[in-house]
């Protein structure tokens, strides 16, 4: 599994570098490298906490915070340090809102969303039978999953179920037959 987009900072994804640490034969060197990374992360976390607090104190703080949170790379770093201004559910719902127009063009709608901790379960289905093409289901599922993980990389599970909507039609002939039966029985409308 590769790192989410935005965490491929300068060439190699972070997860590859972590795996490389695990492959170091000298356990003392590997431990020292891990400790160094941890301390640098802590230092950056403390600095970011101060930066975000200083931004919040400015007259334009809310707007600047929102701009930072909307930047994909900054958003991931804010999440890493527990500083993201939006909670998990808000980020998930925001991603779905941003997907709405695209999904509508595909003839797909979100029928249901269940959030259980950091687990997401979506039910999607055809919203417009004229546009929906079932052969695009896997591609659409992938697009939804990517958008949700980009907005909520802390999600532990994203499950997307395509639900076929069954439309029941009442034949016009049955309505006419009921009306005829009522009329012949002398029932007034």
For residue 17, the model assigns a pLDDT of 84
Query: What is the predicted pLDDT for the residue at 8?
Result: 47
Q: What is the pLDDT of residues 62-112, one digit of tens each?
A: 999 999 998 888 988 999 899 999 999 999 999 999 999 999 888 889 999
106, with CB counted inside 10 A (0-12, 13-18, 19+), is buried
CA 76 to CA 66: how far, in whole Å?
13
Q: What is the mean pLDDT of the chain?
A: 84
| Residue 59: strand, helix, or coil | coil
pLDDT in the model for residue 7: 46
How deeply is 108 buried, as exposed, middle or buried, from its count of CB atoms within 10 A (0-12, 13-18, 19+)? buried
Q: Give pTM, 2 decimals.
A: 0.68
| pLDDT confidence tier of residue 21, bands split at 50, 70 and 90 | confident
């Amino acid at each position: 599994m590769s790192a989410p987009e935005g965490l491929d900072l300068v060439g190699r994804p972070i997860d590859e570098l972590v795996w490389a640490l695990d492959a170091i034969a000298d356990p003392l060197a590997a431990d020292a490298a891990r400790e160094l990374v941890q301390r640098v992360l802590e230092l950056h976390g403390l600095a970011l906490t101060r930066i975000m607090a200083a931004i919040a104190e400015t007259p334009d703080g809310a707007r600047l915070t929102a701009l930072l949170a909307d930047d994909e790379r900054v958003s991931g770093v804010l999440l890493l340090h527990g500083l993201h201004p939006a909670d998990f559910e808000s980020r998930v719902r925001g991603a779905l809102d941003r997907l709405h127009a695209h999904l509508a063009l595909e003839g797909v709608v979100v029928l249901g969303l269940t959030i259980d901790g950091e687990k997401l379960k979506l039910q999607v289905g055809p919203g417009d039978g004229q546009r929906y093409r079932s052969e695009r289901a896997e591609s659409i599922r992938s697009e939804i999953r990517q958008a949700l993980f980009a907005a909520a990389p802390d999600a532990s599970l994203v499950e997307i179920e395509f639900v076929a909507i069954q439309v029941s039609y009442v034949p016009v002939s049955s309505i006419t037959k009921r009306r005829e039966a009522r009329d012949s029985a002398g029932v007034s409308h």
